[in-house]
């Protein structure tokens, strides 16, 4: 791809100094390189822009038009970069598009949104909650909160918390159906599974004696598309679910849900990350949001 802005800068410098040699010294180029770049512009436009007199370069009438407009374009580029750079370093402002899993969004972002906006009132927070993976660029999303491994190696991630899944149920369900003492007892229960992830009819467990992890059938007639839905099913006493502990922490504390088969839990780590298309120069609004979550969670 042609570097039109770079060529314009060479031309403007040569025309201003009226010398290929002087322009080369200022730009760190050889006089012949400057001459070739100017010739490239002239060949593309099909007209002469500079003519060499006995002592110096002079612009043709067409060159004067090109020089005036090139200076204006280069000034616009410099101003645009200054505005963007100042905005990136200044107070966080502008639209912030965030996508999070339903469970994380309900547990953390929604309760903290007011505090964040009070700290950064010039940010316009746009929040969507989905458990499916999204393309950040295609969906024009600044930050996504995910537990799944990243597939796109060009993305950056910052860990927000580490948890694990637990097997839970409501006390009234366990009163009606009994408390499972071992994974095999789930054959007599209604297990709430997910429409994504590992095989929906199996859950992983750990043998307390050998620490070996194995899969055990988890039969049931309810499937959830998100942790939030599975949690609601459990709260209604409809069955047993295996869900991220961070998602039901308050339910466990209140007694609305209780953990079962704790000795068989494989304690597989589940890390939650803030994922973003980033580099060292993150926009202020994005950096502020990620830092805010990291310090509050």
The residue out of 54, 89, 124 marking a domain boundary is 89
Picking from 239, 234, 242, the residue whose alpha carbon sits closest to that of residue 270 is: 242
Domain with residue 112: its CATH number is: 3.40.190.290
Q: Are residues 122 and 159 in the same domain?
A: yes
DSSP-assigned beta bridge partners for residue 124: 95
Nearest to 186 by CA among 251, 264, 249: 264
Q: Which long-range CB contacts under 8 A does 243-246 form with residues at least 24 apart?
A: 243/103, 243/165, 243/166, 243/168, 244/103, 244/147, 244/163, 244/164, 244/165, 244/270, 245/163, 245/164, 245/165, 245/166, 246/103, 246/104, 246/107, 246/161, 246/163, 246/272
pTM: 0.62
Task: Give the pLDDT confidence score for residue 199 in this predicted structure.
Answer: 56
Would you state the pLDDT for residue 283?
81
Domain check: are 191 and 268 in the same one?
yes
Domain boundary residue, one of 89, 124, 153: 89
Tens of pLDDT, residue by residue, the chain (297 residues): 468 888 899 999 998 899 999 989 998 999 899 999 999 999 998 999 998 877 788 899 998 999 999 988 988 888 777 766 655 556 788 899 999 988 888 888 999 999 999 999 999 999 998 877 777 777 788 899 887 665 656 778 888 888 889 999 999 999 999 999 999 999 999 999 888 765 567 899 998 888 889 888 989 999 888 888 899 999 999 999 998 888 888 899 999 999 999 999 988 888 888 988 765 567 888 889 999 999 888
244, two tokens: 């991220």
Same domain, 59 and 116: no
Specify which residues 165 forms β-bridges with: 244
Looking at residue 259, its pLDDT comes to 95
Total of domains in the chain: 2
Domain identity same for 9 and 61: yes
Domain edge (last residue) among 89, 107, 129? 89
CATH of the domain at 8: 1.10.10.10
The residue range of the domain holding 19 is 4-89
Statement to judge: residues 149 and 216 lie in one domain = yes
130-144 pLDDT, tens digit each: 877 777 777 788 899
pLDDT given at position 52: 82
Same domain assignment for residues 81 and 100: no
Residues 217 and 105 in one domain: yes
């Amino acid at each position: 791809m042609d570097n039109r802005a770079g060529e314009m800068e060479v031309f403007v410098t040569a025309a201003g100094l009226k010398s290929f040699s002087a322009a080369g010294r200022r730009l760190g180029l050889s006089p012949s390189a400057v001459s070739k770049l100017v010739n490239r512009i002239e060949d593309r436009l099909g007209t002469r822009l500079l003519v060499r007199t006995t002592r110096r370069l002079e612009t043709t009438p067409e060159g004067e038009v090109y020089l005036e407009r090139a200076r204006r374009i280069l000034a616009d580029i410099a101003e645009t970069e200054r505005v963007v750079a100042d905005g990136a370093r200044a107070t966080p402002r502008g639209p912030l598009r965030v996508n999070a899993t339903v469970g994380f969004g309900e547990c953390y972002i929604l309760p903290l949104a007011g505090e964040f906006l009070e700290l950064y009132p010039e940010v316009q927070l746009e929040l969507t909650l989905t458990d499916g993976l999204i393309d950040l660029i295609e969906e024009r999303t600044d930050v996504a909160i995910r537990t799944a491994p990243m597939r796109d190696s060009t993305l950056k991630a910052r860990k927000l918390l580490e948890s694990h899944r637990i097997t839970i149920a409501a006390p009234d369900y366990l009163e009606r159906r009994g408390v499972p003492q071992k994974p095999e007892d789930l054959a007599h229960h209604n297990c709430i599974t997910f429409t994504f992830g590992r095989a929906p009819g199996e859950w992983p467990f750990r043998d307390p004696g050998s620490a070996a992890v194995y899969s055990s059938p988890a039969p049931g007639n309810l499937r959830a598309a998100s942790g939030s839905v599975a949690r609601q099913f459990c709260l209604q006493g409809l069955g047993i679910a295996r869900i991220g502990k961070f998602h039901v922490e308050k339910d466990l504390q209140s007694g609305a849900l209780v953990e079962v088969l704790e000795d068989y839990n494989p304690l597989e780590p589940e890390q939650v990350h803030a994922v973003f298309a980033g580099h060292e120069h993150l926009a202020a609004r994005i950096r502020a949001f990620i830092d805010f979550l990291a310090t509050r969670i």
